[in-house]
Each structure stands twice: as C-alpha cells, then as structure tokens.
Structure 1
C-alpha cells in the first residue's frame, strides 16, 4: 500500500515540506512505499536525483508510483510532440528513482479537440510511449482521471465511455490500468460497471472517495459515495495482487492518511 499525498501537494511544491519529510510520514503511518508527483521534482540533475533517492531510502521507503500529466489530446500537433518529449523525460526520471509505476493521463478536454480525433491521438501516442516504459523497466498505468490542479480543463477521458474506448485501443500494449475509485462517480457514473470492463488489466488502484456524484469533492475514505467493499470484493475475486495507492485529499493531514490506511485494510479484509 502506498499514498499520493494530495493534502500535502501545496506544501511539498512550495518547499514547506520536503520529500524526505513526506517519506518519514509514510514510514511512520505504516505505508509500504510512497507516491510522488512530477511537480514535486525540481530538476533531473544527477546530484539532485541521488539526494531524492537517498532521502527516501534513509526513511526506509521506496517509490511505488509517480504521477505525471501528459496532454496527448492537445489540438496542436507540435504541442503533442512536446508532450511526448516531456513524458520520455518523466519515464527516465521514474527509472532513475526506481519507481515501479508511472501514472499517465490522456490529456485535457480542449474545446477545439473533437472526440474522435482526441481518442486517435491519445491511442497513437500511448502506443509510441509503451516501448519506452518497457525499455526503462517502468510500468506505465493509464488512469480514469478527472482534473489535476496543473491543468486548465478536465481530463479528456473523464467521460467513462472515452476512457473505456482508449483502454480498449491500447490493450495490445504493456500499459496497465490505474483505476481510480472516485473519478467515475465524480463524472456521474458508477465505478463497478467501468471496473468490470478493465478488470483483467488493472495493476494499481487509486483509492479515493468523493462526497458528491458528478463532482470530485475529496473526503476521508469511507465517508463518501464510493462502494469500497464491492470494489475490493470484485478485485479479490479476480485475484488482484497489485498496489493500492491511497489518494488522500481530505486535508486532514497525517491523521487522514492513518485513517485511510486503517479503512483500506479493514474493508479489504471484509470484502
């Protein structure tokens, strides 16, 4: 089990909290590993990356997943090429830091992008980048996402049908699925039907909760609308043995992460 510390994003990005301090918290609350975002990483110089790696290892931690934000649905072909170069760099960073997974996204729902074109561009670029992940031994995982703070628009594949179409289009690649438990509800759909369609390709889970259908409002895990027991039961029936990565965004700090870990463990045991 790992955790992407949404509640701490602002502090880590600003430097108020260091990556070492986040790793220390992860060890204290009993995580098996921590997750990072590429926005936490200041550069890719050898000295800096060695320090990040050593800081994490000194706390007895490793990196399960790094989240990155490619935008392959951008209407400008030159920008899509830039996005590919950025993602190549992020794969190299993840490899250098010994991260197991790199979470990738389709891109933003740009008003100028037609759905059919966007799907085509995303699938094409995912197919191009999959061998790069293989080369560097970083497992790429595609998420049913909503909207990161670093984007202007919501995710192009926030609508469940677009996510499933893209997932189907890359099934012959090594790219796995990072299924987020809250984002389907945040779109206005139910997670179980969507999960069933990608179940055999799910390698990581973003365990998140939302209080509102049709909108992402992070709450403590178990306090919102996500049917965790049913989701975990389905995963167990399919013999899921991947990582559960808690997306803790309730803004309740370390205690929120502790409660989320306890909730996941108890709910998984009962499922």
Structure 2
C-alpha cells in the first residue's frame, strides 16, 4: 500500500500567510516515510509550466510523487457565470495535475447555497462533475469526487455532505469516468456512518483520505483516537482489491507529532488487516 498525506498542519503558513513554500514540506514528507503527497491548488505559487516543473523536480529529489491534486469546485452556485468559472478552474487543476504526474484530482459538488433546491443542486452538480470527469479522462487522470464536508474558503457546507445526496449524484454519473476520493472522517462530522457509505462506493474509490473525527467537531483527531473504525474500513478496501493511496489528513492541535502518530496508526492497522488473510 502507498501512503500519502495532506499537509494540513502547514495550511496556515503555506496558504494563508504565504510564509512557507510548498517545497519546504517535501523533505518533511520524505522523513515521514511517505511515498507521495497531496497538493492543494492554493498552495501553489503559480500555474506556469516552468514553476510546476520545478515543483515536480523537487518532488523527485525527495523520492515523492503527487498522490492527488486537490481543488474545491462550487458547481452548485446559482450564478451560471460562477459555475462556468469553477469549471475553468477545475480544468486548470487537471492540467496542472497532469504536468505534476498526479493520477487523480479531487473534485467537489459545491456549497449548499440558500434557495437552491435539492433537485436543482443535484442537476448543477451532475453537470459540472460530468464535464470535469470527461475532461480528466481525456487528459489521462481521474476526477475523484469526495464525500466532502466544507472547504476552508467556503461560507457554507458542501451541498452533498449527506450520504444520500452524494450517492444520488454518483448514481446519475455512473455512465462517466468519475471516481471517488473517499474521506472517512467527513460523514462522522454530521453523524453518519462512513463504513456504510464506503460499502456503497468502494468499487469507484481511487484515493482515500484517512481522517478521523468526533461528531460535530471540525478539527481532526489523531487517527485511531476519533470515531472512525479504520479496521472495518480497511477490510472493505482489502476485500475489494483496493491498491491505491491511503492519505493521512490531520489538522489537529498536535501538529507534526499528530501527523506522525496518525501515520503510524494507519500503517499498523493496514498491516494488521492484511495479516488476517495470511
């Protein structure tokens, strides 16, 4: 199994304050024994080819690859011009992911905007995600739709945060190349069962966010100390023959130590689940 991480513990200096360059994370990631890292679109200083090539070389210098390129499209916005802009940003992200050698790009439905009905929101989300998935396939990567809670820069939670809406959107896009970036912790946030949801979508999962939470608490817990039953989830992935990425997502108060402990737990748990079959 390949392990990656979202450098959420450095989100403030890297994205909000711009006091830490993305490349400064790479030696840290390598020291954690990671095979790859995720890259958030807002962590990049530029989308110019020369800059992206420098990032790609810096990754290679540390023995890393990009497991997933992360964006947060708002395809449910009531303004069609905004939806068109969000699609353009998503295509830009896909192009950047291809240049960086990523295999998938995280995509989202959009925000739960006031006044947007369930059916209208689903229609808009399906339209945007369809175009994103088809464009990604043309470029040789996956668009991976996440069971998402809320982006940092959004005012509102995700329109499809509830499992039933997420599944309906996925079902309407079954004829497309759309895949899933499964996040263990997001359903917990709203009191839903991530294990039940995983059973429904495991055949389309290409990347996994191993986040842990307690219901109603936005900050992540160290993996294994929240409410997620990772052993049960890993058994589902194992039995489905999943061989993609397990990516640790941690933004809690323990910083780098919390990320280290999360990774140790995830590796140990995956190995134990694999050993059950030996």
Match in the other structure for 1:5: 7
Match in the other structure for 2:89: 86
Q: Does 1:152 align with 2:155?
A: yes
3-state SS of paired residue (1:189): coil
* Distance apart, 1:207 and its partner CA: 0.2
* Distance apart, 1:46 and its partner CA: 2.4
Identify which of 110, 116, 125 aligns with 1:113: 116
How many angstroms apart in 2 are the aligned matches of 1:52 and 1:68? Answer: 17
* Distance apart, 1:254 and its partner CA: 2.5
Contact 1:4 1:247 in 2 (8 A): yes
* Distance apart, 1:91 and its partner CA: 0.8
1:31-180 correspondence runs (5 A): 31-180=34-183
Deviating above 3 A after TM superposition, structure 1's stretches of 4 or more consecutive aligned residues are: none
Identify which of 214, 217, 220 aligns with 1:218: 220
How many angstroms apart in 2 are the aligned matches of 1:260 and 1:252? Answer: 10
Q: Does 1:245 align with 2:247?
A: yes
For each residue in 1:119-155, what CA deviation from the matched residue of structure 2 results, as whole angstroms up to 9, or x when unmatched? 0111112112222101221211000000111111101
For each residue in 1:223-271, what CA deviation from the matched residue of structure 2 results, as whole angstroms up to 9, or x when unmatched? 1111111111111122211111111212423222221111011111222
For each residue in 1:154-197, what CA deviation from the matched residue of structure 2 results, as whole angstroms up to 9, or x when unmatched? 01111111111111111221111111001111111111211111
CA 1:215–1:162: 2 relative to 1, 3 Å: farther
Match in the other structure for 2:271: 269
Aligned length in residues: 270
Report the TM-score when normalising by structure 1: 0.96
Match in the other structure for 1:203: 206
For each residue in 1:85-137, what CA deviation from the matched residue of structure 2 results, as whole angstroms up to 9, or x when unmatched? 11111111111111121100000011121111010111112112222101221
How many angstroms apart in 2 are the aligned matches of 1:102 and 1:251? Answer: 27
Structure 2 unmatched runs, 5+: 274-278
Q: Does 1:182 align with 2:185?
A: yes
Q: Does 1:16 align with 2:40?
A: no
How many angstroms apart in 1 are the aligned matches of 2:169 and 2:94? Answer: 21
Contact 1:29 1:257 in 2 (8 A): no
- Further displaced range: 133-142 or 245-254: 245-254
Match in the other structure for 2:276: none
